[in-house]
Amino acid sequence: MTSLTSQIPLVSADEWYEFLEAVYAEDTRRREAETEEPLAVGAVGAVGDGALEAWLEVIGGYVREELAADGGEAARGLAPGETVLHQSMGLFGECDAGNSVHIDALLFPDPADALAVAAYYEYVCAHCRRADGVRAVHIISHSLSPAEITSIVAWLDGQWAALGLPDSGAHLVDVGSRFGAVVLGAVRGLSHRGIEGIGVEANAYFAGLAGRTAARYGLADAARFVEARAESEAGLAELSSASIAVFNNVFQFFVPRDDQPEVWETVSSALKPGTLVLSHPSLELVLGELGWSPERLAEWVRPVGVINGSDGDDDDDEAEMTRMYAYVVC
Ligand SMILES: C[S@@+](CC[C@H](N)C(=O)[O-])C[C@H]1O[C@@H](n2cnc3c(N)ncnc32)[C@H](O)[C@@H]1O
């Protein structure tokens, strides 16, 4: 993927999204032309880190095209008719429609990095195109990127035995699975672990799209997607069978903040002891902000690691990656 940093024009948010879409469509066509065997379609099988990341980029390209064809907002990664909530307080309470742009890291993995250092991001007013007197915008992604999913899969593989995960029959449940890429990446990259992936997703369009994607890429036997709210009976049934439960910013932009304490209450009590919980942001932050004391959190889970943790050096590539905090349910 060409770096976009030097090409970033001084444009409005809508023009910027259009620009990204055009660059990515070109890249998808180039990738298809260069790949003799379809890189993407194939039986479940363990793949190396590089191949898994490349494969997830192909999944992102497929999803972009499907979203566009189905009348979604491919540029922002939104389903047809989907609305995203901006909470007025709590985590991300400072983000509103005027100071935030949504760029999905599965659909646009490279610009998410480029934006962090881009002149557009740091200095440019979308309206007057001047650099003075403006604030930085918040870049919001509702997906993990191919690189982030790959590093989670690699971490799980490396920690598997130490975490006491089963030799076969492990269930990975992505709570709020959106495009399904976490589930698909896990079953593709961890097939030698005999893993089953389950996405629980409240948005009917996304649950359907993820199921179609699994079928298209030969993963329908290993991955399934349930249209359900996590806190519903159907959602809780999946959670109660989880060996690994993933929570990536799941409720913050989708569930009114006043409802979040009860949702967490219900969801947390469904997970059985020994379940590995991966969360971003940390549970200390998410649940602390909702009123859980450190003692209460310690009664539920114990921390076991951080994925994509860095040594604090800002130049470190890992510092750019979403950190996932790992816990085991007590
Ligand atoms: C930030 S996205 C996470 C996407 C994906 N897990 C990832 O990490 O790339 C959160 C998703 O959770 C879904 N969601 C929000 N509240 C939910 C709930 N109560 N039950 C199930 N899904 C929910 C949203 O529709 C959205 O697709």
- Give the model's pLDDT for residue 140: 80
Strands 138-140 and 171-175, bridge-based pairing:
unpaired
The CA 297 to ligand 1 mean position distance, Å, reads 22
How many whole angstroms separate alpha carbon 323 and alpha carbon 309?
6
Task: Report angle CA 49, 55, 59 to the nearest 5 degrees.
Answer: 140
pLDDT, one tens digit per residue, over 9-54 is 445 667 667 777 777 777 777 666 665 444 444 434 445 667 899 8
Handedness of CA 153, 101, 71, 22 (dihedral sign): negative
From 106, 178, 179, give the residue whose CB has the most ligand 1 atoms within 8 Å, as the site to mutate. 178
Give the start-to-end residue ranges of the domains of the chain. Answer: 5-140, 147-329
Q: What is the mean pLDDT of residues 265-273?
A: 98
CATH of domain 147-329: 3.40.50.150
Residue type (1 letter), 74: A
The CA 6 to ligand 1 mean position distance, Å, reads 33
Q: Distance between alpha carbon 282 and the CA centroid of its chain, in Å?
A: 15
Q: What is the mean pLDDT of residues 218-237?
A: 97
- Give the model's pLDDT for residue 7: 40
pLDDT, one tens digit per residue, over 196-208 is 999 999 999 999 9
Three-state DSSP string of 220-279:
CCCEEEEECCCCCHHHHHHHHCCCEEEEECCCCCCCCHHHHHHHHHHHHHHCCCCCEEEE
From 140, 201, 308, give the residue whose CB has the most ligand 1 atoms within 8 Å, as the site to mutate. 201
